[in-house]
Amino acid sequence: MHSVVVVLNLCSKERRKQEEKEEKDLKEYEKKKERILKRNQTGNLAQ
């Protein structure tokens, strides 16, 4: 029984790590998107 609990803890730790990584990736993506949008806006103004 104890080993099952340990396995479950490991799984939840891994899942949390994965979720944190995805969250970070999403934030990075949002930043990049904002930068590209700003660049496009300034580019459009220059034309």
Exposure string of 18-32, with b = 16+ CB inside 10 Å and e = fewer, is eeeeeeeeeeeeeee
Q: How far is the C-alpha of 13 from the C-alpha of 7, rounded, in Å?
A: 10
Condensed to tens digits (0 to 9), the pLDDT of residues 27-43 reads 999 999 999 999 988 87
What are the Cα distances from residue 8, in Å, to 14, 25, 47?
10, 25, 58
Chain segment 13-27, per-residue pLDDT in tens: 999 999 999 999 999
Instruction: Pick 1 or 34 by higher pLDDT.
Output: 34
d(CA 38, CA 31): 11
The pTM assigned to this predicted structure is: 0.58
User: What integer pLDDT is reported at residue 6 of this predicted model?
Assistant: 79
What is residue 47's predicted lDDT score, i.e. its pLDDT? 55
Is 70 exceeded by the pLDDT of residue 11?
yes
- What is the separation of C-alpha 43 from the centre of its chain, rounded to a whole number of angstroms? 28
